[in-house]
Structure 1
């Protein structure tokens, strides 16, 4: 596993969406499963889609982090430098992006330096 765990956070570079989802599941106190529309399911979908998007539609992930605090989970995915990520393209990429934006409390995309992108999603834990 390429993700490190702390008491309230997980960080590193996941090899797969499943690895990220499993690590975040442990962070939030159990498996990310449950009825559709629950916070657990929303978190599992968002984490999977953010990692899958980065792996399929960008040069890759340079850093993944999830931090639990105050009833929310902040998930940050930093993309490697390269061609600009297209967050509004068609097909599967657009569907995944729509899932993330519909289940998250907020989603921001910034460019902290160079051509890399940082996507930050805030998700409800309860």
Structure 2
């Protein structure tokens, strides 16, 4: 909520510079392209996520089937593999072993099921 309020306040203050002809703040000509460029750049600065806000992966899931990097690689590979190529199209059953071999970084990721817990 704080981010949207800050963004709204910033947008309102940046538009007031273009609507107040008595005190020119900028020496550039005020036209629609200048206004939209300034406003869009300001909004994008606050809306883009920085790498510092990225979520860290839990150490207990690294190297397992629940590893987000493995899941993302497998998903992308399956999508590319099952896309129709001309008149041929592979099934998911044909693509899964190929994609697992391509994306797996540990032996556990290559297994079919979950390992038995003793």
TM range (shorter): under 0.3
TM-score normalised by the chain length of structure 2: 0.28
Higher relative contact order (CA 8 A, sep 6+): 1
Bigger helix fraction = 2
In the superposition, the TM-score normalised over structure 1's length comes to 0.27
- Which structure carries more strand by proportion? 1
